[in-house]
Amino acid sequence: MIVLIAFKLTANKKQIDENNKPEKKVAVKIPVKYATVKEQQMEVSIVKTGNLAPFKESKVITTSSGILQKVRFELGDQVHQGQVLAIMDNRTAQLDLQKAESNLSKLKADVQTYTELLEGKATTREKVNELRQSYSDAQVQVDQIKKQMSDASVKAPTSGTISAKNMEEGVFANAGSEIATIINLSRTKVQVNLTEGEVYKIKQGQSVKITTDVYANAVFPGKVSFISPQADATHNYMVEIMIDNIQKSPLRSGTFVYADFSQKSKQQILVIPREALTESVKNASVYVIGQDNRVVLTPVQTGIETGGLIEITTGLKSGDRVVTSGQINLKNGTEVSLSN
């Protein structure tokens, strides 16, 4: 009986000890998706919208006051630089010119006469110098009146098309009045705003493809003619593109267009999917999967972004595996199970 009781107690103790043993922890592998860091040819993809503006736009300004005696243009007329577009009434100036030229002729004769008298000591040098000064002043007056008469002919400051006519014949115009507007559409330009990240990817003289919904299948070649060295209040940079206007598909000022700066380069860059980044582009980092399938949080520096991919300039090498989905459950050293 004693032996039986001892045996029973021993068996119960073994059972109790077995039950009290700590359970073995089984490591849980976090399922994640991943992508491999790869090299590919760089492609800059920048498409902006803008409006066409004329190559030149000039106001036709009067330089003197008077009545518009003749207006020699109509809306839509093609004019060339220097062409007389209007004539101001200059009859008063003509009368003033006749008087001034008559006075100039008289003073010229007086200077000649008194110069001869001075040689014979029949007059003083002061008198001769006074007449010469008067003759010089009269010559200036004649030149000024001739300039006024010349200003009466209002000329085109540039070649182009009359797009606005502000005054008609017979009205009085003050000096500095706008009587017309001329636009030159032999070439057109597009102004677009680029961000800081975009403006450093283009250069002066770079080719740009211009398209518009007006001509669905037409591509107008353009070139970057100006890149602003100064950002505006919104930290954008103004870029100007010049386009040759073609007769077959003429472009008009104000037309809505698309400017495509996209280009490829022979340079190879490292890229990963954008969703691999755990934080913003400025503080970018990724989870790199090691050979033992454990992850390491690695800071990286990024470059251009295109087509869902982003350039990695430092921090990774070709062939590295980075987590693209499931990062929220990870920390340094976490073991993962892979799917792609």
Q: Which of these, 315, 239, 221, 233, lies nearest to 277 by C-alpha position?
A: 315
Q: Which of these, 67, 152, 137, lies nearest to 104 by C-alpha position?
A: 137
Residue 118 lies inside a defined structural domain of this protein: yes
Q: What is the pTM assigned to this prediction?
A: 0.53
Residue 254 and residue 278 in one domain: no
Q: Which amino acid, 163? A: S
Please give the average per-residue pLDDT across 55-71, as a whole number.
86
Q: What's the CATH number where 307 sits?
A: 2.40.420.20
φ and ψ of 80, to 5 deg = -120, 155
Q: Which amino acid, 64? A: S
Residue 97 and residue 240 in one domain: no
- Is a pLDDT exceeding 70 seen at residue 265? no
SS3 221: strand
Residue 272 and residue 237 in one domain: no
Quick check: 69 and 168 in contact, CB under 8 A?
A: no
Q: Quick one: which H or E segment has residue 151? A: helix 125-151
Residue 197 and residue 51 in one domain: yes
Quick check: 238 and 228 in contact, CB under 8 A?
A: yes
Q: What is the pLDDT of residues 274-331, one digit of tens each?
A: 999 988 777 899 999 999 999 999 999 988 777 788 889 899 999 999 999 988 889 9
Residue 87 lies inside a defined structural domain of this protein: no
Residue 332 and residue 318 in one domain: yes
Domain boundary among 216, 233, 262: 262
Distance CA 223, CA 239 (A): 11
Residue 292: which domain range?
30-44+266-339
Residue 109 lies inside a defined structural domain of this protein: yes
Q: What's the CATH number where 257 sits?
A: 2.40.30.170
Q: How confident is the model at residue 256 (pLDDT cuts 50, 70, 90)?
A: very high
Residue 270 lies inside a defined structural domain of this protein: yes
φ and ψ of 127, to 5 deg = -65, -40
Q: How confident is the model at residue 96 (pLDDT cuts 50, 70, 90)?
A: confident
Distance CA 65, CA 151 (A): 10
Q: What is the pLDDT of residues 6-27, one digit of tens each?
A: 666 676 666 666 666 555 555 6
Distance CA 179, CA 152 (A): 13
81, 101, 130, 253 from 61: Cα distances, Å: 14, 29, 40, 22
Q: What is the pLDDT of residues 182-237, one digit of tens each?
A: 998 888 999 999 988 788 888 899 999 999 998 888 889 999 999 999 999 988 99
4, 11, 14 from 17: Cα distances, Å: 20, 10, 5
The pairing of strands 295-299 and 285-289 is: antiparallel
State the Cα torsion 215-218-221-224 to the nearest 10°: 40
The Cβ of residue 166 has, within 10 Å, a number of other Cβ atoms equal to 13
Residue 258 and residue 292 in one domain: no
Average pLDDT score, the chain: 85
Q: How confident is the model at residue 116 (pLDDT cuts 50, 70, 90)?
A: confident
Residue 165 lies inside a defined structural domain of this protein: no
Residue 75 lies inside a defined structural domain of this protein: no
Residue 136 and residue 201 in one domain: no
Please give the average per-residue pLDDT across 41-60, as a whole number.
84
Residue 67 lies inside a defined structural domain of this protein: no
Q: How confident is the model at residue 42 (pLDDT cuts 50, 70, 90)?
A: low
Distance CA 114, CA 181 (A): 55
Distance CA 32, CA 335 (A): 10
Q: What's the CATH number where 108 sits?
A: 1.10.287
pLDDT value, residue 3: 67
